[in-house]
Structures are given as C-alpha cells and as structure tokens.
Amino acid sequence: MYSMLNPINKATFLFLLSAHIMIIITQTSCQKLIEVDAPTTSITADNVYTNNLTASAVLTGIYSRISMNSITGNDLSAIGLITGLAGDELTLYAGAKDVRLRAYYQNNLATITSRIDFWANIYNEIYIANLSIERLNNSFSLTPGVRQQLLGEAKFIRAFCNFYLVNLYGDIPLVTTSNYAVNSTLPRAPISQVWMQIISDLKDAKILLSNDYVDGTLLKKSIERIRPNKWAATALLARSYLYTNDWVNAEIESTEIINNTTLYNLDSLNNTFLMNSREAIWQLQPVNFASNTEDAKVYILPRSGPSSSRPVYLSPQLLNSFEANDRRKTLWIDSVLITGMPYHFVFKYKSGALNAPLTEYNTIFRLGEQYLIRAEARAQQNKIAGSRADLNIIRIRAWLDESKLNQKSALLSSIYHERQVELFTEWGHRWLDMKRIHIVDTVMRNVTPLKGGSWNLNWELFPIPSNDILTNGNLSQNTGY
C-alpha cells in the first residue's frame, strides 16, 4: 500500500488517487448519455488498468474505505460493532439517539428495512472487484507480477465480501460480472452455490497472491501486513472450510499458516493488535487524519462514561463468560466508574486519542483464530490430543490452566467458549458462531428481552433493503420482515 515513514503525503496521495478512480469507475457503470473521447492524459475507466500505479490504486481504494469508515456506519468496518449489538457482546447506552443502532440492538430491524446499508455497500465493493477482474484479465501493459497480485487481491476481496453477505443474509444474488443490466435482475442463489464461489475465488487467490507482504509497487517485500497475500487467502479459506463443515481441509489450511513460523507466531496479549504484529495475517492501515483505529475511537469510553457519541460498552453476558484469572479480561477490557457503577469497554485497541503516535492497525485475520479453527476441525475428526493441544496454546497465553478434556463434545464446547472470549467484537465472530453451531435461538431468547426487545429465530438473518426488493422483481425478502 504505502509507507508510514511519511504518512500524510503518501497516504493522502494514494487515497485521493483511488477516490478519483472510484468516481470514474462508478460513473461508467451508469448509462453514458454523451460520448466524448477523453484526453489522453486523463484517468478513465478504460485506461486505469494500463498503468501499475492507477491499477493498484483501485484495490487500495477498497482497503482505504474500510479503514476510514466509522465502525458505527454501514460498511464492512461496522460488522463487529453491529453484530456485537445484535448478539450478546455489547450494551447500547440508554440515551443513544441512533435509531438504527437501537434497531439492531433490540433485534427489531423490521422497522428500518429501508435503512439497512451493509448490503449496498458490500455489493459496491464486489462490483469494483468484478470490474478489476475483467479489466485485469484483458490488460497486457501492466508488469506481469503486478497484474497477478492485483487479480489475486480482487478475487480475495470478492470472496471476503461474499463471506459476510452469505452469513448475514443467507441466500444472496451471486454477482460475478460488472454488467449492471445482468446484476440488477439476479435472483438469490442458494447458500451452497455462494460457498462454492467463495472457495473457488480463494483457491485462485491463494495461487495468484504473493507469498510475502508487498509494498506499494506490489513488486518489493514490505514489513507492512496491509495488502492481502497468499496467507490472508489461506486464512479465509480455512475459515470457509470450517463454516461448511469440511473439517479435513479446514485443518490443512490452518496448519499451513501455523507452520509458517517465518512470518507468524502468537504474540503477547499486549502486542496482538499492534501494527505489524507477528500474529497479524492481514491488517488495515489507518487512513483518517491524526488517528489510529476507528475501533479505539468508538469503543474506548472517556472518564465521563458512555454517551450518544460513545454509545456502547460490554454486556454482562460477555463479562461473565471469562474464567477467573483470564488475563484477556484484564488486558483487553477496561472500565470507567460513574456514580459507583463500572462501565466495561473493549480495550483491544488502546490508542483512541487524536494525534497519538501511530501504533495500531485494524486486525482482520490473526493467528489466534487459526489455532481455534484447527482445534475445532481436529475435534470434529476425533483427533482429540491435537485439538486439545491447539486449544491449550490459546489458553496458556491467557494464563489459564491447560484443558484436560478427553471427550469430543466437551472439547468442542470448550473451543466454542474460547472463541467467545478470544475473538469478542472482532469482525462478527460471535454472532456468526452462534448461528453456525445452532445456539443463536437459545441464547437470544434470553438476551433480547434484557435489551428491551423480543426474539424470533427468523431474525438471525438481516433483512434485505426494501428498496432493492422494489427495484428487482426477482429478489425476495427474508422471512419475518
């Protein structure tokens, strides 16, 4: 992407370039009313992919948008907070004025189906990825290594976006072209077909992407872990196999990463979320002026406590799930005391102040998850000793006693619990886990009334925006909305 040795100049340049290119690409997706040849010196959708720098900026734009958007918004960056509110991880401040956040929190999205914007924003990134794949496949003026890396990144991003769409919405239109006329009338594809596309894209990306992290030229190695590489694709592939109950391949893919000790090792709890941590597999570099991660800006409570601008804190359900002496509770959670009442908040990212030194990057994939993926995949195959060993690696880092469990069912329950306290508020893990292991109904029937709402199992899927239902006659709404 770019070096942080001169963060404002280089970051601003690439961000503005990518934003300019995105405007052009978005405009060309609409019908052209007037055809005028562009000056040969201008950037157009046709010549973006003839130059290494401009072609790279298209994918950079996706990473920049995810990084810059507030986690209270409607884009990929908000998935951790929104699903944390919808599930059992976060509490919404009683005085919060955001109607949308309240609807997610009380599992009452039927009242705001016209304002569910994850759908549109994620499909926008898929459109850009599709256009990039099409243009890169027909571009022969780029440096071959650059073209290959960008193709890999585009397929990886498409898989990443589809992963969240299929998990949040169920059956979805499977968009693999930039042709608006085709895309605007697509029906919903079965979940199984979407998973096949995700896995196919990740297999391709794993071959195309560099083994190493690369810099802004895409040709030189970098210490920055901010552009997807082969191992980012492998991480999402391992997760995808886990979600589709392909235990053998989930174990194979996670093992590849765990065995790559040249690049990856578990870091200390204090260092896990630092920029270029040895545990990080893919991170997003901050692009907003004078700040670190958006997570820290939203989650860390000031001494005055929660407010409409800092409206969330940790739920009693999450706080009570930690075992005694779990260092994650003391190092990844902090609190403020307001009139004798403690408000606990997420403290994985610790630098939320403006103008603080750059120390943290938003971590999307990390090695800790891969150990838990392999532990679960091994347990499902009755590889009890290996599963327990992986689980204990995570427990020992948290200063907990080693598990001695020997039965598959008990071991799986322990792994699911460990995922809850290890991955809390990170990219929707808890919400998606509750659905895939079929405990969401049991948990939410107890939790939703405590949040002032009522629960219906249909609401484990989010509603499709009503505007899209109206404009696409082949698109149906999820049950219950």
Taking the C-alpha atoms of residue 452 and residue 461, their distance in angstroms, rounded to an integer, is 19
**Torsion angles phi and psi, residue 333, rounded to 5:** -135, 140
Tokens of 107: 């599992």
Find the range with the poorest average confidence among 4-18, 54-68, 170-184, 369-383. Answer: 4-18
Q: Which residue has the higher pLDDT, 423 or 112?
A: 423
Q: Domain extents for the chain?
A: 7-34+42-289+361-471
Query: Mean per-residue pLDDT for 260-277?
Result: 97
Task: Give the class (CATH, top level) of 7-34+42-289+361-471.
Answer: mainly alpha
Rounded (5°) CA angle 112-77-24: 90
Inter-residue contact 185 to 231 (CB < 8 Å): no
User: DSSP for 281-308?
Assistant: EEEE---STT-S-HHHHHHS--TT---S
Tokens of 395: 């427990």
- What pLDDT digit, counting tens, does each position of 91-130 carry? 999 999 999 999 999 999 987 876 767 899 999 999 999 9
**pLDDT over 90 at 44, yes or no:** no
Tokens of 217: 């030229």
**pLDDT over 60 at 276, yes or no:** yes
Taking the C-alpha atoms of residue 253 and residue 369, their distance in angstroms, rounded to an integer, is 12
CA distances from 122 to 15, 240, 245 (A): 19, 18, 25
The rounded percent of the chain whose pLDDT value lies above 70 is 90
Tokens of 154: 């585009």
Of 57, 96, 152, 165, residue with least CA distance to 311: 96
Give pLDDT, residue 18. 54
pLDDT band of 220, cuts 50, 70, 90: very high
Taking the C-alpha atoms of residue 383 and residue 480, their distance in angstroms, rounded to an integer, is 40
- What pLDDT digit, counting tens, does each position of 291-350 carry? 899 999 999 999 999 999 999 999 999 999 999 999 999 999 999 999 999 999 999 999
Give pLDDT, residue 11. 44
Of 260, 283, 269, residue with least CA distance to 368: 269
Q: Which residue has the higher pLDDT, 27 or 408?
A: 408
Give pLDDT, residue 112. 80
Give pLDDT, residue 21. 54
Rounded (5°) CA angle 75-293-429: 55
**pLDDT over 60 at 7, yes or no:** no
Q: Which residue has the higher pLDDT, 87 or 289?
A: 87
pTM listed for this prediction: 0.92
